[in-house]
Structure 1
Amino acid sequence: MVINTWDYPEANTKAWSVLNLSKGGLGQTLNAVVEGISECERLQCGKAVGYGGCPDEQGDTSLDALVMDGRTMEIGAVADLRRIRSAIKVARHVLEHTKHTLLVGDAADDFANEMGFQNETLNTSESMEFWMKWRANNCQPNFRKNVHPDPKVSCGPYSPLTSWKDDISRSEYEIGPNNHDTITMIAIDEESNIHVGASTNGLKYTIPGRVGDSSIPGGGTYADNDVGAAITTGDGDIMMRFLPSLLAVEALRAGRTPAEASRLALRRIGKYESKFDGAVVVVNRLGQYAVTCHGFEGEFSYMVSSPALPDRPMRKETIKCTMSKEELEASSF
């Protein structure tokens, strides 16, 4: 099966074709994840994946990506790429051609050049137009807090305040059907070999150098052939603090169902953050899956390909984000 976050059918179709038409053997799930996510990067899915989207405070677009092998537990990841468009393929090269897990910044771009990737601009006229309108609106919204001048009305430059009252809300950065963030994907073959992957250009107008959860193992993705895998999407700055994908996979290991595991991962976050946008997709090693979400303007969509429904091998599914405040604040384990 192949399952990915958001209504990105092209990525799912590409991954499913690689997996379903292959003749088996180790690595087909890796090929499926990389090719599926690459298709989304090429198509600039939702302007949240690939080049030409989500400029930072300086107007630049940067990319994060990760791929993980559930058989060996090896990971390749990159963060803050600024010259290479194929982030997921660079992450694969980190997995296959280094003994490291994560490369970041200019050095990650240099590594990509060594591996044969060519430099290309990640900015487009559209992304620069987004940025110029944001600047004209006094840089609103932004991710600054406890600084002078007031980040609610000014573009800076900023300096730290020595005393403050922390009343900053993240509601203005809401992620939802019209403001996607990240593609994450699981591919699992008939022998329960699993790969997971992620790619994103982050949130709009972040502070340069910001890295979200997509390239953090256990944050946006995690896999273990012994039990299954989990992927997430949402407010990465909040979700990465709790490693929800790792929590969900460990819940599977403890005997929880996919539905229980996905709910438990979100509850851990909800104990500390009642206002956030997030979804957790959990698949066990047999391909049974469940999805739980919070926020997202009330619903969340994802794509699934599997032989479970022969008349609809590739399909969009949508769930309501109905977890109550009490459920979110409940103890996780």
Structure 2
Amino acid sequence: MISRRDWLKTTSLTGAGLLLPASFAVHAKTNQQARVVSTWDFGVGANQAAWQVLRNGGSALDAVEQGARWAESDLCNATVGRCGNPDRDGHLSLDASIMDGDGRCGSVAALEDILHPISVARRVMEKTPHVMLVGAGAQQFAVEQGFQKRRLLTPTAKKAWQEWKKESKYQPQMNVERLSKAIPGDKSNHDTLGMLAIDSQGRLAGACTTSGMAWKLRGRVGDSPIIGAGLYVDNQVGAATASGVGEEMIRNAASFLAVEMMRQGKSPSEACLAALERIVQKREEASKNLQVCLLAINKHGETGAYALHHGFVYAVCDHDKDERLLDSASVYAKG
């Protein structure tokens, strides 16, 4: 039987523990396995850039920014960054968002002539009282923060736009079927790098960057820079990001919904499926002809994904730079 003296000693230590500052509990948690996940096969290269931060004990926030910067400058993909296709008037505009697990977030939309919208989004988060800046105002802010203006539209993208103008037909295309054998970084019609990371301290963060749909109406903004639609992060639960036709994610606050489903106890894959089922329930006929994809990670580092249609792949990178490209499950079966 425990003595009164031992009982008092135990309870006094417990009480002292309760009085420790909150920061102690955060910094004491150092055994979380770091992991980063990204949408599509070009997420492999983005993950490798992010992993350089995570492997050295860096923060999830720094990691997702670096991964997104790689996609914006080194990838040269028709739907992300400097090589993106323009709108129907020939203007290339970029959208991006970044979110920390503590609720801080920033985004930019319809940003022109600035190479790294993800870093501008982070400046919005850290240097302003706002969440989103758009258009000319976003560009002005970027220049004031030291970002250089440069013409981003590539000759290849300009040529593609000139070919499109011959018929001027606007119809978003479903992703071409791609499996794990695909070559990272090719120039097919995939859109949006969505990236989620958990670091060795158990902190979550996410980033989204895109040039949006080719030939869109000038000024169109998709889900990528919309917090809750294209990206949502909560250290207490997990994080989710989206790809595909952004209007559907906006209509359903899809990333936020996936996180809330994880809050209710669903696995990342189950949470993504539940969010997609909401889209199908509301717009069943439309959902048969468009692609929507969700990727999620929970606070334990478990990951999962779901898409409306077959063809969505996502990249996972963790300890010892173990890189995997996985095929997502889909609501509508192949074929």
Band the TM-score falls in, shorter-chain normalisation: 0.7 to 0.9
Higher helix share: 2
Is residue 83 of structure 1 aligned with residue 125 of structure 2? Answer: no
Give the conservation status (yes or no) of the 8 Å contact 1:220–1:240.
yes
Q: Secondary structure at the match of 1:131?
A: helix
Output one character per residue of 1:102-150: Cα deviation in whole Å (capped at 9) or x when no partner.
00000100000000001011211111101110112x201x2xxxxxxxx
Q: Secondary structure at the match of 1:286?
A: coil
Q: Which residue does the alignment assign to 2:292?
A: 278
CA distance in 2, matches of 1:233, 1:85: 21
Deviation at 1:36, TM superposition (A): 0.7
Deviation at 1:17, TM superposition (A): 1.3
- Taking structure 2 as the reference length, what is the TM-score of the superposition? 0.82
Is residue 110 of structure 1 aligned with residue 140 of structure 2? Answer: yes
Q: Which residue does the alignment assign to 2:314?
A: 302
Is residue 221 of structure 1 aligned with residue 231 of structure 2? Answer: yes
Is residue 124 of structure 1 aligned with residue 136 of structure 2? Answer: no
Give the conservation status (yes or no) of the 8 Å contact 1:62–1:122.
no
Give the conservation status (yes or no) of the 8 Å contact 2:196–2:204.
yes
Q: Which runs of 5+ in 2 are unaligned?
A: 1-34, 179-187
CA distance in 2, matches of 1:18, 1:199: 19
Q: Which residue does the alignment assign to 2:246?
A: 236
Q: Which residue does the alignment assign to 2:50?
A: 15
- Aligned letter for 2:112? R
Output one character per residue of 1:251-307: Cα deviation in whole Å (capped at 9) or x when no partner.
111122222211101001111233220111111100011111112xx2211110123
Is residue 33 of structure 1 aligned with residue 55 of structure 2? Answer: no
Give the conservation status (yes or no) of the 8 Å contact 2:77–2:83.
no
CA distance in 2, matches of 1:44, 1:61: 16
Is residue 5 of structure 1 aligned with residue 39 of structure 2? Answer: yes
CA distance in 2, matches of 1:268, 1:324: 18
Give the aligned CA root-mean-square deviation in angstroms. Answer: 1.6
Is residue 291 of structure 1 aligned with residue 283 of structure 2? Answer: no
Is residue 250 of structure 1 aligned with residue 280 of structure 2? Answer: no
- Taking structure 1 as the reference length, what is the TM-score of the superposition? 0.82
Q: Which residue does the alignment assign to 2:123?
A: 93
Give the conservation status (yes or no) of the 8 Å contact 2:107–2:131.
yes
Match of 1:192 among 187, 197, 202: 202
Q: Secondary structure at the match of 1:16?
A: helix
Give the conservation status (yes or no) of the 8 Å contact 2:54–2:200.
no
Give the conservation status (yes or no) of the 8 Å contact 1:231–1:280.
yes
Match of 1:50 among 81, 90, 96: 81
Give the conservation status (yes or no) of the 8 Å contact 2:76–2:84.
no
CA 1:286–1:45 in structure 2 vs 1: closer, same or farther (change >3 Å)? farther
Match of 2:98 among 62, 67, 70: 67
CA distance in 1, matches of 2:264, 2:46: 32
Deviation at 1:322, TM superposition (A): 4.5
Match of 1:139 among 162, 168, 181: 168
Q: Which runs of 5+ in 1 are unaligned?
A: 143-169, 326-333
Q: Secondary structure at the match of 2:82?
A: coil
| Residues matched between the structures, number | 285
Deviation at 1:244, TM superposition (A): 0.8
CA 1:10–1:283 in structure 2 vs 1: closer, same or farther (change >3 Å)? same
Q: Secondary structure at the match of 2:301?
A: coil
